[in-house]
Structure 1
């Protein structure tokens, strides 16, 4: 199945400064793809190039199986919804009236308005003036506008930015369900790496314009494995076993019976526990530590954007 988005060697420079550096991005159909990285990583510039709002310095973009160019840009973007900047609208008009104007501009039937209001959970507030909306409601109205015409692809640039915790949670649930509720593939960017775990299935991590990681969220587990905390009855005897096997352990001063081991495969850990038990060290506790996405990001970078 052809990816919804593919970029090949995509580059963008401003005044000699490279913002996006030979980016090869692949977004499979039917997923929520988390485009992650700190502010200034190049995420927004990439999204604008995907929408034809910014011309690349080099490389190419494929949307919905077609190379994006000036001839087909309008046709492809009719099948793409986006929310790049903060949502705008007429504050003195209702949500329904705002959507009617957007539908007319897009050449979409107004009967689509009820559907998109339902998708973003604004049906009950459809006849309220947008000036009375919270920021989260305005963001959802912006997404509803992007969904008019049933686009195959939805591009959202930091839609949770500035929301309170309740608004973030609501946005997470809405976006996670989007492929099923609308049929659209979603590309969503964020610098808040931890919050993405609850809504995405595919991940791309960008820093200084370079793609450091891309793949299923589950594939990050190999980067997520942390060290092992091992609690024993005889730390001295356990340390001797570890030294004999060439395993470097760190003793915690406040917990002399606990040894901190480096990450290791499950099979090796099981064999080690067996050896410790046979030596009489007395294993009484074992805890495998895992990293969250922020820690994974730090492990992927050395501060200069290179893979660690």
Structure 2
């Protein structure tokens, strides 16, 4: 699989404080990649390094198959669009006038302006002054600026920040369609997993500058199992047997015949059920709780542990 972004042991520190630590990021071509982490995890710094706005302390960056250096940085960034933090623009000018300024700076034909306005659904408002725009419209204008020149890669830093629910929903649909509608691979950062799962196909989770998970949305869901509830006919004997197996358990408060078990693998669960049956403890019910994606995210970031 071709990667449009690859970092190798990327590190950044300020005055001895580590912000990004040995980051190995791989973004496949043609996907929407969610770069997740709590506030202060190092996401924005990492994205600024990718764009050459911040120099890493050590490590390397490859964009579009080429190692970034001072000689090719400008050429690579011409193939990359970005929206970092709040979109900038001249409020007293129209959206079209703002886009013309950006097009001139990038040496891009003005004919491309109509294309990007249509993609972000601003054609009807192109001649309105940006000062009259809602925050959501300004964010869409920022993405239109990033799309000028038909870049192969888009880097978007928390583009849904501050939007109302309708604006967030609109932005989700816009970003999710980018690979198909523009051909661009998208790297998008956020600290809200529930919001990202409706846009992305691949994920990387950063915490305290370290990558603690990277993979598909489906792979992340493998970590969604929570506790297990098992209903038995002989509670006292069941507790004794499970304790001997190293599983601490206790009856649920309002259902004394149901034992609450921690999260365990399918193999371990099958072994425990078999052991209970062999010792004449009837198992008459089994329920596995499922964590939400937000709970998985919190579990990973709070524990600070890596997962496969």
Q: Same fold (TM over 0.5)?
A: yes
1:152–1:184 CA contact under 8 A, matched in 2: yes
1:273–1:283 CA contact under 8 A, matched in 2: no
The answer to whether 1:283 aligns with 2:284 is: yes
1:277–1:283 CA contact under 8 A, matched in 2: no
Give, in angstroms, the shift of residue 249 of structure 1: 2.8
2:230–2:283 CA contact under 8 A, matched in 1: no
Give, in angstroms, the shift of residue 85 of structure 1: 2.4
Which deviations, in whole Å up to 9, do the C-alpha atoms of 1:121-144 show, x marking residues without a partner? 222222222111111111011001
Q: How does 1:96-135 map to 2 (within 5 A)?
A: 96-135=96-135
Q: State the distance in 2 between where 1:190 and 1:55 align.
A: 22
RMSD: 2.4
Which deviations, in whole Å up to 9, do the C-alpha atoms of 1:232-275 show, x marking residues without a partner? 56645654664576544332213323322222344554676677
Give, in angstroms, the shift of residue 287 of structure 1: 3.0
Q: Which secondary structure state, in structure 1, belongs to the residue aligned with residue 46 of structure 2?
A: helix
- For structure 2, list consecutive stretches of 5 or more residues without a partner in the other structure: none
Q: How does 1:18-97 map to 2 (within 5 A)?
A: 18-97=18-97
Q: Cα–Cα, structure 1 residues 281 and 153, in superposed 2: closer, same or farther, change >3 Å?
A: same
**What TM-score do you get using the length of structure 1 for normalisation?**
0.89
Q: State the distance in 1 between where 2:26 and 2:9 align.
A: 12
Give the match for residue 171 of structure 1: 171
2:211–2:306 CA contact under 8 A, matched in 1: no
Q: How does 1:163-242 map to 2 (within 5 A)?
A: 163-231=163-231, 235-236=235-236, 239=239, 242=242
Q: State the distance in 2 between where 1:10 and 1:4 align.
A: 16
Q: State the distance in 2 between where 1:175 and 1:49 align.
A: 22
- For structure 1, list consecutive stretches of 5 or more residues without a partner in the other structure: none
Give the match for residue 153 of structure 2: 153
Give the match for residue 140 of structure 1: 140
Q: How does 1:288-299 map to 2 (within 5 A)?
A: 288-299=288-299
